[in-house]
Structure 1
Amino acid sequence: MSGLCKAKDWLARRVVLGVGVFSALFLVATACTPVQAPGGSENHSPGFSLAEKASAEEERGYRTHVGHFLSSDGLELAVRAWLPLEEEPRAVILALHGFNDYAHAFAPLGEALAQQDIAVFAYDQRGFGESPNTGLWAGGEVMTADVRTVSAQLRGTFPGVPLYLFGESMGGAVLLAAEAEPEGLDADGLILSAPAVWARETQPWYQRVGLWVALRTVPWFRPSASSVRRQASDNIEMLRALGRDPLVLGSARIDTIAGLVDLMDRALAAGPAVHTPTLLLYGERDEIIPPEPVERLWQEMPQEAGHRFLRYPEGWHLLTRDLQGPRVIDDIAAWIDNPTGTLPSTVERLPEEHAQEVEQREG
């Protein structure tokens, strides 16, 4: 009888030990599982809800509106709009911001173009700014669906008005990925400013391996942005303001970074599928996106679509916010007016005041 009791005791200890080991492994596996931002519920009617932010800006020839866009799955995405004083603009731009940024990034672009009767709308993409699930990656498919839904709403709001889609860095990658999907993009033109196309196949091996290992061990870890010694612009005051802005994320989870790299893989591969007339913009001093994948994207884009590629020798990554940002914005406006015409930066020198600022910064 005592032998039977000992056997039962031994079995019980082994069961407890097994359960303990299984529980520990389960907790470790759960802790190391990448997290994706949850979506909303289905069957919502998407649409804008905007309110005028200030009336004093009317003296400068535009109005600013803030509000939200209700997505098709019921999530509210924060929206900013810069509208001309005229009731109907001559063109509409939907702008998508870059990684860790938000819609306020387009204030210089929106203010300048609204004074030229071009309306600019921008929304905080999921996981960024004031939109839901800050810091979590929503997935490339969801992000491309959002831009398609918002642009369709703008088509309905401004019937007959040309619609252009502007993407800065990550926003450019979203547009490229969406253009390559079977539905394509319903737009009169694309504007890609330093698009994030630094795909895995163009990255050094140690960078790819490091991300692969980190994603499977510490997907929750947030590397400090200060550890990446790269400068995004020569506009130092603007960069300092970004550092003080609580809506600009100072770091990102490993699984969010991996999501961005997945998106960049899709964006670079999208080159042959870009049939919407596109203005590609790149600064030759860009320290964020290397020139080689951007050049490869350009070479693979079908040239019969009438694409244009502008390289700015004095340009950095945040082209519309650089010291020579007004020059880039003038090119965008001119391209919208005449996609095949001469653009200001191809025939004019850098404005003297901006040239002096650039020289002082470099000195």
Structure 2
Amino acid sequence: MQYKSSRKTLYFCLDPRWILSIAVATLLASCSAPTWVNQPSQALPAQPQLAENSYTSFDGDSLGYRKWLPSKREPKTVIIGIHGISGYSGDYKNLAKFLLKNNPDTAMYAAETRGQGMDPKLCRRGDICHVDDWYNDLYTFTGLVRKVHPKAKIVWFGESMGSLIAMHSYVHTPPGAQKPDAMIISSPIVDVNDKLQPWKYTMVRTTSLLFPTLKVSLESLSGGQSVVVTEDDIHEDQVLKNEWYIKQYTLRLLLKLGNMSASLNRPASTVACPVLVLHGGKDIFTSDSSVRKFYAGFPGGTDKNIKIYPGSYHLLMYDHERDKIFADISEWLHQLK
């Protein structure tokens, strides 16, 4: 049974005292610029390292991860999953089990994303200060996994928001870091700003500049439209079942994602590794034509493939055609050189 998302409206009080108090709170909650330099009054962050269920990232913060490893052999290919908004590392569980059976020389790692529902820092959930933090987390985690499996090919698998992080990380490589050997881009969010009514997009952009840490729900931006993410679920119903559910996100995070989506074609033009693009024909966030235009942006000499599933929705790994999708991924991995 499907339930329509309720409409939520933001009301802004014009009392100057209210505006001043919000502005002060916003400034206090704002993020300082990231630094890689040791300051005399601060201890050096812990060095990146991979523990059994968590890893220490570039800035000393710890984030969890999951892994699925072959039982009898060293993997030739390691997939690193980057989950979507309101997701978690366990979203890759079904795919991992399928690949362990059908691609026994393939391993799967998936880390929790900073600012999402499994971030150990509760105050950071639903927010991101700098998108570079996502890129640095991904490269740090990738480097640590490479040390464990030095002979394996590394494949980034970004889903939804994770596809934005993967694509933009590809062109923001830190000094000394190594890009992935291949990428799987699932349900890329292309030109999501086009889905918002112009007045609503302008309101979000303007308000985010004044109050970047003000939080709203994804449903409040949908104009009352049900955000259908699988054949059986709409977004609000689906996420309410999950412990990692985040009810609201900061305007700062949503605006950054909008900017990443609007500029997604630029990093595509720089990709020099094999890439597989997956898209559901009923994806509410991105049309077939937008995905095909995005796909055409990869260089002509790139080993690229696209799979469009006309009857599928946004969350392909949970949708009704997932077994077919997993089989297509498995076949692509077998052919990966």
Contact persistence 1:179–1:185 (CA under 8 A): no
Distance 1:127 1:270 in 2: 23
1:188 counterpart (173, 181, 187): 181
Is the aligned partner of 1:119 residue 2:104?
no
Aligned to 1:243: 240
How far apart are 1:245 and its partner, in Å? 1.1
Distance 1:194 1:286 in 2: 8
How far apart are 1:204 and its partner, in Å? 4.9
Aligned to 1:198: 191
Structure 1 pair 24–201 and aligned structure 2 pair: CA distance change class (3 A)? closer
1:81 counterpart (67, 77, 80): 67
What count of residue pairs does the alignment treat as equivalent?
Answer: 304
Residue correspondence of structure 1 range 28-67 to structure 2 within 5 A: 28-32=22-26, 35-36=30-31, 42-50=44-52, 67=53
Structure 1 pair 129–111 and aligned structure 2 pair: CA distance change class (3 A)? farther
Distance 2:252 2:48 in 1: 29
1:158 counterpart (149, 152, 161): 149
| TM-score, normalisation: structure 1 | 0.75
User: Using CA pairs below 8 Å that are at least 6 residues apart, which structure has the higher relative contact order?
Assistant: 2
User: 1:262-312 CA distances to partner (integer Å, 9 max, x unpaired)?
Assistant: 332343321211222100111111012333432221121112111111111
Ranges in structure 2 where 5+ consecutive residues have no aligned partner: 1-14, 36-42
Which deviates the most, 278-287 or 143-152?
A: 143-152
Contact persistence 1:37–1:127 (CA under 8 A): no
User: 1:105-135 CA distances to partner (integer Å, 9 max, x unpaired)?
Assistant: 1111122222332211111111113223212
Distance 1:37 1:230 in 2: 34
Aligned to 2:93: 107
Aligned to 1:13: none
Which deviates the most, 157-166 or 84-93?
A: 84-93
CA RMSD of aligned residues (A): 3.0
Contact persistence 2:281–2:287 (CA under 8 A): no
* 3-state SS in 2 of match to 1:176: helix
Distance 1:37 1:337 in 2: 45
Which deviates the most, 291-300 or 29-38?
A: 29-38
Aligned to 1:331: 328
Contact persistence 1:100–1:252 (CA under 8 A): no
Is the aligned partner of 1:212 residue 2:214?
no
* 3-state SS in 1 of match to 2:245: coil
How far apart are 1:160 and its partner, in Å? 1.1
Aligned to 1:318: 315
Contact persistence 1:198–1:265 (CA under 8 A): yes
| TM-score, normalisation: structure 2 | 0.80
Ranges in structure 1 where 5+ consecutive residues have no aligned partner: 1-20, 51-66, 341-363
Structure 1 pair 31–185 and aligned structure 2 pair: CA distance change class (3 A)? same
Contact persistence 2:160–2:188 (CA under 8 A): yes
Distance 1:37 1:296 in 2: 37
Structure 1 pair 35–326 and aligned structure 2 pair: CA distance change class (3 A)? farther
Distance 2:60 2:273 in 1: 29
Percent identity, please.
Answer: 20
2:270 counterpart (273, 285, 309): 273
Distance 2:269 2:59 in 1: 31
* 3-state SS in 1 of match to 2:285: coil
Which deviates the most, 193-202 or 170-179?
A: 193-202
Structure 1 pair 190–84 and aligned structure 2 pair: CA distance change class (3 A)? same
Aligned to 1:344: none
How far apart are 1:143 and its partner, in Å? 0.6
Aligned to 1:62: none
Aligned to 2:3: none
One-letter amino acid of the counterpart of residue 71, structure 2: L
Contact persistence 1:190–1:278 (CA under 8 A): yes
Which deviates the most, 33-42 or 145-154?
A: 33-42
* 3-state SS in 1 of match to 2:249: coil
Distance 1:205 1:309 in 2: 31
